[in-house]
Amino acid sequence: MISPKKYAKPAKSIPKGYKTANEFFDFVFNDKDMIWMGQNTNHLHDENQIMDSMMSCIKKRDYNKYPPPEGFPELKRLILEDLGLQNGFEILITAGGTESLYLCTNDILAPTDNTITCDPGYLIIDNFASRFGDHVKSVPIYNEACGYKLTPQLVRENIDDNTKLISLVDPLNPLGTSYTKEELKDFADLANDKDIYLLHDITYRDFARNHQLMAKYAPEHTVTVYSFSKIYGMAGMRIGSIIGVPEIIKSIKTIVINDLGTNVVSQRGAIAAIKSKKEWLTRIKTITRSNQDIIKRAVDQVENAFLPVYPSDGNMLTIDIYDTGVSPLDISEYLLDKKVFTREGSYTSKLFGDRYLRVSFSIPKEHVKYFAKVFVEGMKVLRDSK
C-alpha cells in the first residue's frame, strides 16, 4: 500500500453539500450564473486577438503536432522583452505558474535546506518547499508594523546557515502588497551576502501601480516566475514561464517532466496576448481600480470590518471581519448561496485564516456592485443571527 506523503498543505474547507474539493469546483465552474471572485481570475477580456489566435490554431489542427520542448522562440522572446530582461537571461515555457514554482523549488532545494515564506501567502509554495527541503519558516506578516509583507528585516531575523530560498510573491496573494525598489535592493544585498536564492513570483505584476523586478538587482540569485493566468485572462489555458540567468535555467531544464512541450493552443494565445497588451491593459487596470473602490465603500458600511491593505496592487484584497463576530467561512457560504464565489482566509493562511475573506475583482463592474450589496446584507443577516 502506498502511504500518502505528509507535506505542508493549506487548510481548505469544502463547502457544505460537497464531498470533495473537485466536486465543488466542478459545480462552480459549470454554474454560468456564478460570479467568480474566488480564484483571482480575470474576466474582463472581450473577444480579441487572444481568442482569435487560439481559434485559428485549433482550426489549422496545429494541436496534432508537438511544439518545441522549451517553448516557441517567439513567445520566449516576447516575454523577455515584456520584462526588459533580454540581455543575460534565458527562459523556459511551462504549463503555468504552479509548474514553474514546483520546478524552481525542486531544483534549488537540497534535503537539508530551508525556505522562508510568509503567512498569509500562497501556501502551495510552502507545500512544494517542504517536499524538497528540510522545512519551511512561514513568517507571520499580518500586521501594520511590517506593512503586511515579508520585509528584509523579517528575513534577517529568521535566516540561518541552512536557508537557501526566500519566496517573494509580488504583489502578494492574498493581501495585494508589493515591494519598493529600495526593499528589493535590500533583498539583493542579503541574497548576495548569504548566497541564497530569491523566488520572485510576479503573477500579479501588471495590476500593480509601480512594479519592480528583483532580477534587475540580483540576477545571479533570482528566479522569476511569470504567468498568463491573471492579467492575460488565460487561467484555464495553463501557461507560464521561468526566467533566470543561463546557469539557473540550464539546471532547471534537467528536471523538466513535460519534455514534449507546453500546450500549442496556449502558446499561440500567449503570443497574441503579449502582442496586443498595449491595446487592452489600461482598460483592465482602470476597471479593477474602480472595482476596488466599490468594495471599499461596501466594507466601510460594516461595523468593525476593514481592508488591511488598500489600495491593493493585485486584483484581489482581503476583508478583515474578525471583530464583526462573523466567520469568513459563514460569509463565504452565504455569498455562495447568492451566486458569488469567494475564498475564506484559511485558503491562504494557517495563522490568520479566521480573520478575513479574500475577494478578487477583475470582473465586470456590475458583478462587483452585486457583491457589494449581498456582502453588506449578508454580514447583517449573519451578525443578527448570533
Question: Which of 14-18, 86-90, 177-181, 320-324 shows the lowest per-residue confidence on average (mean pLDDT)?
Answer: 14-18
Contact status, residue 266 vs residue 237, Cβ threshold 8 Å: yes
Alpha helix (H) ranges present in 167-324?
181-194, 246-253, 264-275, 277-300
In this prediction, residue 71 has a pLDDT band, given cuts at 50, 70 and 90, of very high
Cα(231)–Cα(203) distance, integer angstroms: 8
Residue 146 backbone dihedrals phi, psi, to 5 degrees: -100, 5
In this predicted model, what pLDDT tens digit does every residue of 178-212 receive, in sequence order?
999 999 999 999 999 999 999 999 999 999 999 99
| Model pTM score | 0.96
Cell, residue 253 = 531544464
**pLDDT confidence of residue 17:** 85
Q: What percent of the chain has pLDDT over 90?
A: 94
Spatial CB neighbours of 170, under 8 Å, sequence gap ≥ 6: 178, 179, 200, 201, 202, 204, 205, 211, 214
Res. 266: pLDDT tops 70: yes
Cα(106)–Cα(113) distance, integer angstroms: 11
**pLDDT confidence of residue 86:** 85
Cα(320)–Cα(355) distance, integer angstroms: 6
Complete domains list, the chain, with CATH: 21-45+278-384 (3.90.1150.10), 49-275 (3.40.640.10)
In this prediction, residue 14 has a pLDDT band, given cuts at 50, 70 and 90, of confident
Strand partners, 357: 319, 344
In this predicted model, what pLDDT tens digit does every residue of 346-373 receive, in sequence order?
999 999 999 999 999 999 999 999 999 9
